[in-house]
Structure 1
């Protein structure tokens, strides 16, 4: 359905004889009356909404803005907790090495092993939530994660702690797959860039914020308090979901009729369900049989056959691995040892990463939405997902710059004397990473039809976490054997020109690939 505002006047091209003919058009009030959109206009102040909401106040698109944003922040923070939990033990590497007689490399496996489980198990949680709803899954995730974190604090061996780390990742990962889906279930297309940006920002802040907080905590207490604190955070999440986390899935939205036969008139008059019933009523949101669950677990891998999803995802995963992973997991080994930093001082180094990521999201979220609006107006209202991708290209260039600044200054500064200049490279790299993350997530989701969009976040999470899992096994070796400058040069080339090329190709051919996919 195409609707216009009162001020919109559309004119046909002038005929060859020079006469000017007006194209038949309708006013905003005529469109509202023809399609029965009076309540939509009164509630949202506009009717050019995608998707079009119902008149039911229980429709998640019609929830009050505060309710949507409170739930968005909860889910985004929950998503952050996966990476936060994985990176929280970084300041304790030296303690683990002394306590259990292991190497720093072995201690780093407490980070890298959970990373792969954070990538694999979202494939399971997504179809489970499609059946029982997002809310029960999030409640279970928070409660079971708290139990696993408490268990981690009472481990007395390397193997026991590693086992709890695995289960912590399994139970913390649901928002990795359903967070972006929930954004689409609450917010309209024109605002999703900014809202997904909030989700991706907190997701990206997990790795640097964890050691920033846990460094001083471990320095003044002991490593067990790392797990006590995370368990308390999980319990707090559980309470907040109980009272501020209504269900977003399963709403049956009626299809509106055409002019003269608006669907709302044929529908029962909607009534507003009391808020407490939204919170304490649990029911199946889909009748899909559980026997099909194994098939649905592997279905996200079909996104590998969609080049508009695969190529930007690879570009994003490479940038994430060589900015977020490199500049968080390796900081204790690279900066900590060179400048002889203790746990608290090592944690403080992550301020640069946090500042860079936040500044990146300030630009990426609303910036990419504004860019899309401008491009759509220039295209006379024709909106294509590929219009968003150019906004990510500066991110690949800045990722290259940040990694090079970090490596060059790390090698050229004096050992034992702290220097801020490598951290400037960290801030630039994390700024770039956030710019790429937000734009790519928004694009790959928009590039797919609604029936396939739920498969995209688990696939993206899997690819990202797979590359992030492998990276720590060779990054330290590269910097030790090749030196900081050479190692950073190689990683910068992959994060910059290589990833830039993947996205540039998608910009050129993405629309054609999507059309072929629909025809197939």
Structure 2
């Protein structure tokens, strides 16, 4: 907030529709909440600034985003339990059936480049609404596919539409919430995204068993069109560019339903689509972005491998039925819930750091230690116990640990990038999401041959080592992150500090 605005002026409850009623006036130009925590970023004196919206509206927004992002990963793997049925129906090689997950996984990540550009140029609300409608249409094609090629193509294209909230979702959290709540919200979004990986096979197994595999796609059709209705009715435009010459005190009802480029209808975040499309590529020069991208790509590679293996191994090694195999995915789901709890404690710690104005983004990174330990131990446990055919419950402890670490890694690294780049955080997340899904796509074709030739213990031992190497990269970032950021800011203009409400 500009220094020309006093705290009392900015805090006036009669001026803005606000969740700042918990804030108090104090000498100086900055605002604090009732608990004495500095509000980061500082909101503008404008009712269109999402930071000034009521708590109820903010919660509604984040729940909508979480539900929408959940459908993306849910769709990706819901069909996993039907691999054997689909192979028999279309008479294709079982190895090729993994394309039904590998294709959507690749398109889900790569399409982030398009959705962020579209969101920055035309508005997040419009992108979310159109993409949900398109996702529903392609899901209809999937349900009615008559050849294996049609099914792969339809699911891959549907995944492009389902991908819109993956990168825009964390940016919505950054636009709407203060730092003290940001990690909590991104953790919630990340947990819902990871829950899709866990609940997809769980729900899909029973759908396939009772209704047939085509009903997995009809369910996705219903859910996609339903979220489109929700987005149109209750999700406002959340992007904001400050224009204090046109600041307003109240928002009209018509503003809530308009498709505008930014909240309040001001100037777009970027002036041309091509600029927005090409903009994220410049962050490939930034060491922080590269390190986070490699780290998370490696972790997603391992998690994708273990979840796909689980959907097959319990049917082949333990001779579980489709329904029983589906129930085994309660373990990674519990890992998601445990990670949400852990990340909430991390958020409490960082809130105290922000209160003393000594907060640095690297303070998030030590919390990755537990994700390292849980990920390595869980991966080794799953592979070793599956190969030795231990009691069926023991490998599930491994998937619990792996998913716990994955969700922690997702939440903490995404929040870290948002902290560092703020207004341009979505551009950096495009780089992360695009490359991480390419890595996971590549490993998906090695699952069946590798497990078949080497067993389970060796592949999962290698994967555990990969998690360890990935966390070494984050240790470097924790140790020298501040210096790396300073060097990057001195070399590249797009690495300099950004502020809430900026356009670029």
Q: Give your verdict on TM over 0.5.
A: yes
Q: Which position in structure 1 is the counterpart of 2:488?
A: 517
Q: Cα distance, 1:220 vs. partner? A: 0.7
Deviation at 1:472, TM superposition (A): 1.2
**Residue 182 of structure 1: how far off its partner (Å):** 0.7
Aligned 8 A contact 1:403 1:426 in 2 = yes
- Local SS of the residue matching 1:318: helix
Change (3 A) 1:103 1:346: farther
Residue in structure 2 matched with residue 507 of structure 1 by the alignment: 478
* Partners of 1:319 and 1:396 within 8 A in 2: no
- Seen in structure 2, the aligned counterparts of structure 1 residues 373 and 279 have a Cα distance that, compared at 3 Å, is closer
CA contact (8 A) 1:133 1:250 kept: no
Matches within 5 A, 1:34-433: 37-39=11-13, 43-46=21-24, 47=31, 48-254=38-244, 270-274=248-252, 276-285=253-262, 292-323=272-303, 325-364=304-343, 366-375=344-353, 380-413=356-389, 419-433=392-406
Secondary structure at the counterpart of residue 155 of structure 1? coil
**Greater radius of gyration (CA):** 1
Q: Cα offset for 1:511?
A: 0.5
Deviations 1:408-465 (A, max 9, x none): 1111126xxx6211111111111111111111111122122x4532312211111221
- Alignment length, in residue pairs? 471
Q: Structure 1 unaligned runs (5+)?
A: 4-29, 255-266
Q: Is the contact made by 2:120 and 2:270 (CA closer than 8 Å) also made in structure 1?
A: no
Deviations 1:256-298 (Å, cap 9, x if unpaired)?
xxxxxxxxxxx67833223x31332223447569994334323
Which residue is equivalent to 1:15?
A: none
Bigger shift: residues 244-253 or 223-232? 244-253
Pairwise CA distance, 1:199: 0.8
Shift of 1:251: 4.7
Per the TM alignment, residue 79 of structure 1 is displaced from its structure 2 partner at its CA by: 1.4
After superposing the two structures, state which structure 1 stretch, 232-241 or 242-251, moved more. 242-251
CA deviations over 1:110-147 (Å, ceiling 9, x no partner): 00011111111110111111121111111101111111
Q: Deviations over 1:355-377 (max 9, x none)?
A: 1111112112x222223234456
Name the SS of the counterpart of 1:96 in structure 2.
helix
Correspondence list, 1:3-22, <5 A: none
1:19 alignment counterpart? none
Range moving further from structure 2, 220-229 or 58-67:
58-67
Asked if structure 1 preserves the Cα contact closer than 8 Å seen for 2:180 and 2:354, the reply is no
Cα drift, residue 36 of structure 1: 5.2
**Alpha-carbon separation, structure 2, partners of 1:79 and 1:70:** 14
Aligned-residue CA RMSD (Å): 2.4
When the two structures are superposed, what TM-score results if normalisation uses the length of structure 2? 0.88
Q: 1:493 to 1:185 in 2, by over 3 A?
A: same
Partner of 1:16: none
Aligned residue in 1 for 2:409:
436
The residue that corresponds to 1:260 in the other structure is none
Q: Secondary structure at the match of 1:164?
A: helix
- State the 1:253 CA deviation: 5.0
TM-score by length of 1: 0.85
5+ unaligned residues in a row in structure 2: which ranges?
Answer: 25-30, 32-37, 492-504
